[in-house]
Amino acid sequence: MFQLTRRGLIAGLAGTAALGSFGRAAYADTTPYVINTYGGRWEKFWRSQLLPNFEKTAGRPTKLDIGLGNSWVTTFRAAGKEKPPFDVLMTNERYAVMLRAEGFFAPMPAGKVANLADVYPIARYKDDAAVTGIVSPIGIAYRTDLVKTPPKAWRDLWDPKYKGQLGFYSVNNSLAVMFLMLAGKMFGKDQYDIDTGLKKIAELRPFPQVDFSGAMAPLLTQGQVAVAPIDFAEAVALQKKGVPIGTVVPEDGVLMFDQSFNVAANAADKEASYKYIDYMLSPEVQLLLAKEFFTAPTNRKVKVPDELKEAIPVSGDDISKIVTFDWDFVAKNRQVMLDRWAKEL
């Protein structure tokens, strides 16, 4: 039978420390802290740019959970509130609001997240229930070789000259939900006027529906779609590939893909959670995100460099002008929206 003696224990620890010094850093707590993000460029960026420095701050190794909003909602519900699969969830507010209403998250103490004080008001939630850490502005993209007169506003998409040239998103994408509520707001009573929103979007048919900006990009590249809502980062990526794409900052408001950061109510390591959110809100990380994904910094201390201003047309105090929506209403009416969208569009 193996017996661990004091001398053996000391020798073992010394050996472990030695291995650590020749490999990755040795941590007091070797249990990986799980962080979620998306696949592709997001995963690569997290692994190469963000996690190495955060691990030094947290004093722990990290592990990535790669997925999408829907899958994370399912994972959290399956695990239960008492034992969340990881401690901080980053996702679109469309999904976070559902779990928050079910009691999965808890407010974060402002004193534990120092960079909260520098976040723009539009990004900070009441009672610090969450914080928007990443903002991807959304405008209109158009093919410069196929569209003689580009639209200037969302309302212009109803101009008959764009009939048959438009592309949109399926209701599975947050942008479709935003556009539905925007149509209700522009042509009906308000953003809650779903009847008017659906009726107005139906007037735009025929149009292809895709699930993601990444799926819209090939349609724009091939010319199957000449005008479409898209986040500016995706448009810039197409321009860099030589696709003749122009962008419009709509006169009637910019939309956004947001990423809210939420602390699990029963997080196993809340101190690490606060450190992670503080790290993501820091000027250094916000600038890195802007350079990589052309996102608008939510920390007011960050100034968008001149060379990025064309790719990030909305930043600074102007992000307060971004059109926002009532995601609590969306969560409560989710099934109605899904059913009616499928039936009427």
Tokens of 98: 């559902």
Query: What pLDDT was estimated at residue 80?
Result: 97
For residue 189, how many C-alpha atoms fall within 13 Å in the half-sphere facing its CB? 4
Residues 115, 159 share a domain: no
In the predicted structure, residue 16 carries a pLDDT above the cut 50? no
Residues 201, 148 share a domain: yes
Residues 239, 340 share a domain: yes
In the predicted structure, residue 324 carries a pLDDT above the cut 60? yes
Express each pLDDT in 80-90 by its tens digit. Answer: 999 999 999 99
Residues 65, 214 share a domain: no
In the predicted structure, residue 313 carries a pLDDT above the cut 70? yes
Residues 340, 217 share a domain: yes
Closest CA to 269 of 100, 3, 30: 30
Query: What pLDDT was estimated at residue 75?
Result: 97
Query: What pLDDT was estimated at residue 1?
Result: 34
Residues 140, 250 share a domain: yes
Closest CA to 225 of 167, 152, 149: 167
In the predicted structure, residue 54 carries a pLDDT above the cut 80? yes
| Residue 183, domain member (yes or no) | yes
| Residue 14, domain member (yes or no) | no
Alpha helical stretches, state H, the chain: 6-22, 41-45, 51-58, 69-79, 93-101, 174-187, 194-202, 213-222, 232-240, 270-281, 283-293, 327-332, 334-344
| Residue 261, domain member (yes or no) | yes
Please report which confidence band the pLDDT of residue 6 belongs to, taking 50, 70 and 90 as the band edges. very low
In the predicted structure, residue 17 carries a pLDDT above the cut 70? no
- Burial (CB < 10 A; 0-12, 13-18, 19+), residue 202, is exposed
DSSP letter string over 293-330?
H-PBPSBTTPPPPGGGTTT--S-GGGGGGS----HHHH
For residue 337, how many C-alpha atoms fall within 13 Å in the half-sphere facing its CB? 23
Task: Tell me the average pLDDT across 301-306.
Answer: 95
Residues forming beta bridges with residue 137, ordered by sequence position: 256
Backbone phi and psi for residue 138, each to the nearest 5 degrees, phi listed first? -120, 130
Tokens of 26: 């040795």
Task: Tell me the average pLDDT across 189-198.
Answer: 97
CA distance 13 to 30: 13
The CATH number of whichever domain residue 332 belongs to comes to 3.40.190.10
CA 136 from centroid of its chain's CA atoms? 7
Tokens of 238: 């197409």
Task: Tell me the average pLDDT across 254-260.
Answer: 95
Look up the pTM and report it: 0.84
pLDDT mean across residues, the chain: 91
Residues 261, 246 share a domain: no
Q: Give yes or no for a contact between 180 and 204, defined as CB atoms under 8 angstroms apart.
A: no
Query: What pLDDT was estimated at residue 258?
Result: 95
Express each pLDDT in 64-123 by its tens digit. Answer: 999 999 899 999 999 999 999 999 999 999 999 999 999 999 999 999 999 999 999 999
Q: 292: domain range?
A: 33-135+257-317
Distance from the first to the final alpha carbon of the chain: 70
Express each pLDDT in 133-178 by its tens digit. Answer: 999 999 999 999 999 999 999 999 999 999 999 999 999 888 999 9
Please report which confidence band the pLDDT of residue 321 belongs to, taking 50, 70 and 90 as the band edges. confident
Query: What pLDDT was estimated at residue 166?
Result: 97
The residue behind tokens 């209109």 is: 140
| Residue 8, domain member (yes or no) | no
| Residue 174, domain member (yes or no) | yes
Residues 272, 239 share a domain: no
Query: What pLDDT was estimated at residue 18?
Result: 37
Residues 141, 209 share a domain: yes
Residues 268, 246 share a domain: no
| Residue 9, domain member (yes or no) | no
Residues 301, 281 share a domain: yes
Please report which confidence band the pLDDT of residue 27 belongs to, taking 50, 70 and 90 as the band edges. confident
For residue 5, how many C-alpha atoms fall within 13 Å in the half-sphere facing its CB? 3
The number of distinct structural domains making up the chain is 2
In the predicted structure, residue 12 carries a pLDDT above the cut 60? no
CA distance 68 to 174: 12
Q: Give yes or no for a contact between 45 and 286, defined as CB atoms under 8 angstroms apart.
A: no
Residues 126, 47 share a domain: yes
| Residue 7, domain member (yes or no) | no
Closest CA to 265 of 125, 102, 64: 102
